[in-house]
A and B are shown apart, each in its own frame.
Chain A
Amino acid sequence: MSTVELDRPRGSNYKLKVIDCDIHPAMTSWTEVHPYLEARWIEHLTVYGSHLRHAFSEALTHPRMSPDAARIDAYPEEGGPPGSSLELMKKQHLDPNGIEVGMLIPLRWNPGSQRNLDLGVALTRAMNTWQVERWVKQEPRLRASVLVAQEDTVASVAEIDARGGDPNFTQVLILPKTDEPLGRRRYWPIYEAAVRNKLPITIHVGGTNGHPSTGGGWTSYYMEEHHSVAQTMQAVVASLVFEGVLERFPELRVVIMEGGLGWVPSLNARMDKHWSRLRSEVPHVKKPPSEYVREQVWFSTQPMEEPATSAELIDLFDRIGWDRLLFSTDYPHWDFDDPRYAFRANLTQTQREQLLYENARKFYRLD
Chain B
Amino acid sequence: MAQHVVATVDQIPPGQRLLVQVNGREIGIFNVEGEYFAVGNRCPHEGASLCNGRIVGLVEATGPGDYQFSRRGELLRCPWHGWEFDLRTGRSWCEPDRTKVRSYELKVKSGGALIEGELRAETFQVTIDKQYVVLEV
> Which A residues are closer than 8 A to B by beta carbons?
1-7, 9-10, 65-66, 71-73, 334-338, 340-342
Q: How far is the CA of A3 from the CA of B49 in the complex (A)?
A: 19
Instruction: Please name all residues of chain B whose beta carbon is closer than 8 Å to the beta carbon of A3 when the two chains form the complex.
Output: 97-100
Instruction: Please name all residues of chain A whose beta carbon is closer than 8 Å to the beta carbon of B72 when the two chains form the complex.
Output: none
In the complex, how many angstroms separate the beta carbon of B46 from the nearest chain A beta carbon? 4
Tell me the nearest residue of chain A to B77, going by C-beta.
Answer: A72
Q: How far is the CA of A2 from the CA of B47 in the complex (A)?
A: 17
Assuming A3-B97, A73-B48, is B42 touching A335 (CB within 8 A)?
no
Q: How far is the CA of A7 from the CA of B24 in the complex (A)?
A: 12
Q: How far is the CA of A72 from the CA of B79 in the complex (A)?
A: 5
Contact A7–B40 (Cβ < 8 Å): yes
For residue B130, CB closer than 8 A to chain A, the reply is: no
Name, among B48, B53, B54, B80, the residue most crowded by chain A CB atoms within 10 Å (CB to CB).
B80
Question: 6 closest A-B pairs (Cβ-Cβ)?
Answer: A73-B79, A72-B79, A341-B46, A338-B46, A4-B44, A73-B52
For residue B71, CB closer than 8 A to chain A, the reply is: no
For residue B45, CB closer than 8 A to chain A, the reply is: yes
Tell me the nearest residue of chain B to A1, going by C-beta.
Answer: B98
In the complex, how many angstroms separate the beta carbon of B11 from the nearest chain A beta carbon? 22
Give the residues from 15 to 60 in chain B that come closer than 8 angstroms, CB to CB, to chain A: 24, 40, 42-49, 52-54
Contact A4–B98 (Cβ < 8 Å): yes
Chain B interface, >50% SS class: loop
Tell me the nearest residue of chain A to B24, going by C-beta.
Answer: A9
> Which B residues are closer than 8 A to A by beta carbons?
24, 40, 42-49, 52-54, 79-82, 97-100, 102
Q: How far is the CA of A337 from the CA of B97 in the complex (A)?
A: 23
* A to B CB contacts below 8 Å, 10 in the list: A1-B97, A3-B98, A7-B40, A7-B44, A10-B42, A72-B54, A334-B80, A338-B46, A338-B47, A341-B45
Assuming A3-B98, A9-B24, is B43 touching A71 (CB within 8 A)?
no
Assuming A5-B44, A65-B82, is B49 touching A73 (CB within 8 A)?
yes
Instruction: Please name all residues of chain A whose beta carbon is closer than 8 Å to the beta carbon of B79 when the two chains form the complex.
Output: 71-73
Contact B81–A334 (Cβ < 8 Å): yes
Q: How far is the CA of A340 from the CA of B44 in the complex (A)?
A: 12
In the complex, how many angstroms separate the beta carbon of A305 from the nearest chain B beta carbon? 14
Name, among B40, B47, B97, B102, the residue most crowded by chain A CB atoms within 10 Å (CB to CB).
B47
Q: How far is the CA of A6 from the CA of B45 in the complex (A)?
A: 8
Assuming A6-B43, A10-B47, is B98 touching A336 (CB within 8 A)?
no
Instruction: Please name all residues of chain B whose beta carbon is closer than 8 Å to the beta carbon of A2 when the two chains form the complex.
Output: 98
Q: How far is the CA of A73 from the CA of B47 in the complex (A)?
A: 13
Interchain CB contact (< 8 A) of B53 among A5, A72, A337, A342:
A72
Q: How far is the CA of A341 from the CA of B48 in the complex (A)?
A: 11
Contact A4–B45 (Cβ < 8 Å): yes
Instruction: Please name all residues of chain B whose beta carbon is closer than 8 Å to the beta carbon of A10 when the two chains form the complex.
Output: 42, 47
Name, among A6, A7, A10, A72, the residue most crowded by chain B CB atoms within 10 Å (CB to CB).
A6
| Besides A6-B44, A72-B54, 20 other A-B contacts (C-beta < 8 A) | A1-B98, A3-B99, A4-B44, A4-B45, A4-B99, A6-B47, A7-B40, A7-B42, A7-B44, A9-B24, A10-B47, A73-B48, A73-B80, A334-B80, A334-B82, A336-B46, A336-B81, A338-B47, A341-B45, A341-B47
Q: How far is the CA of A66 from the CA of B81 in the complex (A)?
A: 10
In the complex, how many angstroms separate the beta carbon of B30 from the nearest chain A beta carbon? 17
Interchain CB contact (< 8 A) of A342 among B46, B48, B98, B100:
B46
Contact B52–A6 (Cβ < 8 Å): no
Instruction: Please name all residues of chain B whose beta carbon is closer than 8 Å to the beta carbon of A5 when the two chains form the complex.
Output: 44
Contact B47–A340 (Cβ < 8 Å): yes
Name, among B24, B79, B99, the residue most crowded by chain A CB atoms within 10 Å (CB to CB).
B79
Assuming A72-B52, A72-B53, A73-B52, is B42 touching A6 (CB within 8 A)?
yes
Contact B80–A71 (Cβ < 8 Å): yes
Contact A337–B46 (Cβ < 8 Å): yes
In the complex, how many angstroms separate the beta carbon of B123 from the nearest chain A beta carbon? 21
